[in-house]
């Protein structure tokens, strides 16, 4: 007997029952487990309780604006968020991406395109084991609780600083360009340049007390930035 495919859990925060039913049928057929919420508050509560792998978020919700929901989700987690909405103006798309959305799809949408975008988001996610956290003996990042400790001392970070550090340690020992860090920490379409990334990295180093030349968060001139999981001279 062929084993069923399990692509993970998707939380659909959508007030239209017909679209929720469509998403449930479509995603179940593709191997996703689907959770549903008809309001923003129900969606936030479900997200907090279950920590799904991906969120599909409608912006026109009856109780809270979808961009406010997106901001709250970003405070809780860096799980991918696909915005699904009837707001098709380019300015609305840019606002959604700047607020932390990973992708944006307008209604009415193609079933094939929705699945393609969802699969792409899932491919960009690290494995479940790696998503639990990062620990190299000095720096510990808990991706579930969004907590950072350095030598067992908690380090308070802003949401942007946390996303920047998470991006670097998830790709430890790899060089990430400024453009890659913008996409991972601020969201695609944020429109930020290398200078903004440079100063964000400098602030992150100061927060962690890593201002010496041999700190693990290194600048690779002409290429980008790298977190060394085993720093050395």
| Domains of the chain, residue spans | 8-124, 132-227
Contact criterion met (CB below 8 Å) for 74 and 48: no
Token pair 């001139």 is found at: 221
Q: Which CATH superfamily is domain 8-124 in?
A: Response regulator (3.40.50.2300)
Condensed to tens digits (0 to 9), the pLDDT of residues 99-153 reads: 778 888 888 888 999 999 888 887 666 544 345 678 888 899 988 778 899 999 9
Decide whether 8-124 matches 132-227 in CATH topology: no
Q: Cα–Cα distances in Å, from 90 out to 98, 113, 190, 193?
A: 12, 19, 13, 20
In CATH, what class is 132-227? Answer: mainly alpha
Over the Cα atoms of the chain, what is R_g?
19
Q: Report pTM.
A: 0.56
Condensed to tens digits (0 to 9), the pLDDT of residues 193-222 reads: 889 999 999 999 999 998 777 789 999 988
């Amino acid at each position: 007997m062929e084993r069923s495919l399990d692509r993970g859990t998707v939380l659909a925060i959508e007030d239209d029952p017909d679209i929720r039913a469509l998403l449930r049928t479509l995603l179940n057929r593709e191997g996703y487990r689907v959770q549903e919420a008809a309001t923003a508050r129900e969606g936030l509560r479900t997200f907090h309780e279950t920590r799904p792998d991906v969120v599909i978020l409608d912006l026109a919700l009856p109780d809270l604006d979808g961009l406010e929901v997106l901001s709250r989700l970003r405070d809780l987690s860096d799980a991918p968020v696909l915005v699904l909405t009837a707001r098709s103006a380019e300015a609305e798309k840019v606002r959604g991406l700047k607020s932390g959305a990973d992708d944006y799809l307008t209604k009415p949408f193609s079933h094939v395109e929705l699945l393609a975008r969802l699969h792409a988001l899932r491919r960009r996610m690290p494995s479940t084991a790696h998503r639990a956290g990062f620990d190299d003996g000095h720096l510990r990042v808990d991706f579930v609780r969004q907590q950072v400790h350095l030598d067992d001392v908690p380090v308070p970070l802003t949401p942007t600083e946390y996303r920047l550090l998470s991006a670097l340690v998830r790709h430890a020992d790899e060089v990430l360009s400024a453009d890659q860090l913008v996409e991972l920490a601020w969201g695609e379409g944020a429109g930020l340049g290398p200078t903004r990334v440079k100063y964000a990295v400098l602030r992150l180093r100061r927060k962690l007390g890593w201002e010496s030349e041999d700190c693990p968060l290194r600048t690779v001139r002409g290429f980008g930035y790298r977190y060394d999981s085993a720093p050395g001279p």
